[in-house]
Amino acid sequence: MSYLNIENLHAAYGDNLVLQGIDIALEKGEIVSLIGPSGSGKSTLLRALVGLTKPHIGTVRLEGRVIDYSNKRSLREARDHFAIVFQQYNLFQNMSALKNVTIAPVKVKKREPAEVEQEAKTLLAKVGLGDKLHSYPDELSGGQQQRVAIARALAFRPNILLLDEVTSALDPELVKEVLDTVRMLALEGMTMLIVSHEMAFVREVSSKTVFMDEGKVVEIGAPRDVLDHPKTPRAKEFMAKILRH
Partner 1 sequence: MAGSLWEEIPRFFTYYNWVFLLEAAGRTLLLTGVGCLVGFALGFYLAVARLYHGRIFLPFKVIIVLYVEIFRRVPFLVTLMLVFFFCQGFGLEVSVFTVALATVCLIAASYTAEIVRAGFEAVHHTQWEATEVMNFTLGQKLRLVVIPQAWKVILPPAFSFFIAFIKDTALASQIGVVELTYVGKVFNNKGFSPVLAFGAILVLYYLMSYPLARFGAWMEKRLVVSKH
Which residues of the chain form contacts with partner 1 (CB under 8 A)?
50-52, 76, 79-80, 82-84, 86, 88, 90-95, 103-104, 107-108, 138, 156
Please tell me the distance from the alpha carbon of residue 15 to that of residue 220, in angstroms, as a whole number: 28
Min dist. Cβ of residue 230 to partner 1 (A) = 33
Min dist. Cβ of residue 51 to partner 1 (A) = 8
Alpha carbon separation from 91 to 17, 100, 136, 138, 142 (Å, rounded): 29, 7, 9, 10, 11
- Which residue, 20 or 168, is less far from partner 1 as judged by CB? 168
Long-range pairs for 113-116: beta carbons < 8 A, 24 or more residues apart: 116/155
Q: Is 195 left (phi over 0), alpha (psi -120 to 50) or beta?
A: beta
Count CA within 13 A, CB hemisphere, residue 12.
Answer: 6
Please tell me the distance from the alpha carbon of residue 44 to that of residue 88, in angstroms, as a whole number: 15
- Which residue, 141 or 232, is less far from partner 1 as judged by CB? 141
- Which residue, 127 or 202, is less far from partner 1 as judged by CB? 127
- Which residue, 109 or 229, is less far from partner 1 as judged by CB? 109
Contacts of 43 (CB under 8 A, 6+ apart): 87, 164, 165, 195
Min dist. Cβ of residue 149 to partner 1 (A) = 9
- Which residue, 137 or 215, is less far from partner 1 as judged by CB? 137
Min dist. Cβ of residue 132 to partner 1 (A) = 19
Min dist. Cβ of residue 157 to partner 1 (A) = 12
- Identify any residues that bridge with 205 across adjacent strands, giving them in sequence order: none
Main-chain dihedrals φ then ψ at residue 3, nearest 5 degrees: -65, -45
Min dist. Cβ of residue 138 to partner 1 (A) = 8
- Which residue, 125 or 169, is less far from partner 1 as judged by CB? 169
